[in-house]
C-alpha cells in the first residue's frame, strides 16, 4: 500500500521561510493527485490552507503557497509567524474515491 510521506518535524525562525513536502513511498506526486494542505493546532479542527496543488482557501494569507517541487507536493510558508506553529497535513487523491493523509509535520517557530 502506498504511503504518503511528510517530514515529522521542522523548525523555522520568525520571519523565515520554510518548505514542507508531501511525497509517496512509491512514485512521484503530480497535480493529478490534487494535493491539499491543512493546518491544525492542538484541540482544534483542521483548517484548509491549499487545495488542488496551489489554490489558497478563502481567507488564507498569501504567505502560504503550494506547488510541485521535483517529485513532491510542497507547502511554502514565507515570513513565518509565531502562530504558524502548528501541525501540517497533506492529502493526496489516490483515485477511485480514495484519499490518503500524510503523517503530518510538526512545525516549530523559534
Number of residues that bind other proteins (CB under 8 A): 27
Q: CA-CA-CA-CA torsion for 76, 80, 85, 89, nearest 10 degrees?
A: -10
104 binds other proteins, rule: CB under 8 A: yes
Residue tagged 496543488 (cell numbers): 53
7 binds other proteins, rule: CB under 8 A: no
CA distances from 91 to 16, 54, 79, 81 (A): 25, 13, 24, 24
Q: In whole angstroms, how close is the CB of 96 to other proteins at the nearest point?
A: 7
Footprint on this chain of other proteins (rule: CB under 8 A): 1, 34-36, 38, 40, 45-48, 51-52, 57-58, 87, 89, 91, 93, 96-104
Amino acid at each position: 500500500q502506498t504511503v504518503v510521506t511528510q517530514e515529522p518535524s521542522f523548525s523555522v525562525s520568525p520571519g523565515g521561510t520554510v518548505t514542507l513536502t508531501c511525497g509517496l513511498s512509491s512514485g512521484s506526486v503530480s497535480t493529478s493527485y490534487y494535493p491539499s494542505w491543512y493546518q491544525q493546532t492542538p484541540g482544534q479542527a483542521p483548517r484548509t490552507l491549499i487545495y488542488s496543488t496551489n489554490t489558497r482557501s478563502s481567507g488564507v494569507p498569501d504567505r502560504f503557497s503550494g506547488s510541485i517541487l521535483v517529485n513532491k507536493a510542497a507547502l511554502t510558508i514565507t515570513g513565518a509567524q509565531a502562530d504558524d506553529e502548528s501541525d501540517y497535513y497533506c492529502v493526496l487523491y489516490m483515485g477511485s474515491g480514495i484519499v490518503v493523509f500524510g503523517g503530518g509535520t510538526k512545525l516549530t517557530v523559534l
